[in-house]
Structure 1
Amino acid sequence: MTMDDPARILGAYAGAVYARDVDALLALYHPNVTVFDMWESWLYDGRDAWRGMVEGWFASLGDERVEVTFEDVRSTVTPDLAVVHAFVTYAGLSAGGERLRAMNNRLSLTLTREDTGWQIVHEHSSAPASFETGKVNLSRPT
């Protein structure tokens, strides 16, 4: 995959998630990726560790799909390294395409330029949590 603009990796990410294509999604990641995901594990160290999470996520969907959209995408690019961050919405869709639910996260990606194009070497997702309750807010204010 060759992409001059590293932010274009977000479109490939959304397409792979919608298709529930584990291999296409993992192809976006460097073999030595470190992922600080919001859910369950403290970190995923390496693409193989991340594969287990992705396979479990996609298997849990049954016949549903996930539509991923990005807002306020920003990037900083050097010849060999790029940082891309955005607000992301994950919307669960029924087999018929009806929106069932949605949640928002903040997503930061660090990309490294490889011979095949940009690859994600670090991913960090987050959402704000209340100081008083510790409850995570998965709805972005409008």
Structure 2
Amino acid sequence: MTTATLHEKQAKDQRSLDEQEIRALINSMHKAHHDKNGAAIAALYDRQAAVFNLAPPLTHVGVDVEEKQRWLDSWATPVEIESRDLRVTISGDLAFVHGFIRLRGTKKGPEGPVDFWMRETLSLERQKGTWRIVHEHTSVPFYMDGSLRPAFDLKP
């Protein structure tokens, strides 16, 4: 095996390990939602992460554990999150993930059952050997027919 071939194999092996770690992080986030554990969710993010999620305002800096816990506590059932079609791209200590996530459960109060798909993009950075989310963007498309209705009925 040539030195170049050996380096290519090592790089491929490292990318494979990194992807496994990133997918494990995403699974940990899903489990923390199911368990309604706001602190466990926040621990996956950089403190200065740029978060563009569905909740106002337009942007958040990091994850506010108390705010996240209040949201989790507004659910009567576990918050089920399912990923689909996630693509992971890794370059050194940076990674980019995009795909779809399904949010399911039953809210307390008049909202009742919730079940819809949305788009998600995550950027991660390896910090001191651990992957952390440094950017998150989730969105729900809306109908461009003038009604501005969210397209909660779409599925991947």
Range into which the TM-score falls when normalised by the shorter chain: 0.7 to 0.9
Query: Equivalences for 1:4-15 in 2 at 5 Å?
Result: 4-5=18-19, 6-15=22-31
Question: Which letter does structure 1 place at the counterpart of 2:83?
Answer: F
Give the distance between the partners of 2:45 and 2:30, measured in 1 at CA. Answer: 14
Asked whether the equivalents of residues 67 and 93 of structure 1 are also in contact (C-alpha less than 8 Å), the reply is no
Using the size of structure 1 for normalisation, the TM-score is 0.84
Structure 2: segments with no counterpart, 5+ residues: 1-16, 108-112
Asked whether the equivalents of residues 49 and 134 of structure 2 are also in contact (C-alpha less than 8 Å), the reply is yes
Counterpart selection for 2:92 from 79, 86, 110: 79
Question: Which letter does structure 2 place at the counterpart of 1:103?
Answer: F
Asked whether the equivalents of residues 89 and 96 of structure 2 are also in contact (C-alpha less than 8 Å), the reply is yes
Distance 1:124-1:46 versus aligned 2 partners, 3 A rule: same
Give the distance between the partners of 1:139 and 1:120, measured in 2 at CA. Answer: 28
Give the distance between the partners of 2:67 and 2:151, measured in 1 at CA. Answer: 22
C-alpha displacement of 1:31 = 0.9
| Count of aligned pairs | 133
Aligned pair 1:70/2:93, yes or no? no
Give the distance between the partners of 2:131 and 2:98, measured in 1 at CA. Answer: 15
Structure 1: segments with no counterpart, 5+ residues: 95-99
SS in 2 for 1:65: coil
C-alpha displacement of 1:138 = 1.9
C-alpha displacement of 1:93 = 5.2
Question: Which letter does structure 2 place at the counterpart of 1:35?
Answer: V
Aligned pair 1:40/2:53, yes or no? no
Using the size of structure 2 for normalisation, the TM-score is 0.77
Question: Which letter does structure 1 place at the counterpart of 2:92?
Answer: P
Q: For residue 53 of structure 1, what is the aligned residue in structure 2?
A: 67
Q: For residue 148 of structure 2, what is the aligned residue in structure 1?
A: 134
Question: Which letter does structure 1 place at the counterpart of 2:131?
Answer: W
Max radius of gyration: which structure? Answer: 2
C-alpha displacement of 1:46 = 2.7
1:42-83 superposed Cα distances (whole Å, 9 cap, x missing partner): 110233xx334312211211x411111000010110111000
**C-alpha RMSD of matched pairs (Å):** 2.1
Give the distance between the partners of 1:18 and 1:27, measured in 2 at CA. Answer: 15
Aligned pair 1:16/2:32, yes or no? yes
Distance 1:43-1:81 versus aligned 2 partners, 3 A rule: same
> Percent identity between the aligned chains?
27
Q: For residue 112 of structure 1, what is the aligned residue in structure 2?
A: 125
Q: Comparing both chains, which one has the higher relative contact order based on Cα–Cα distances under 8 Å and sequence gaps of 6 or more?
A: 1
More strand by share: 1
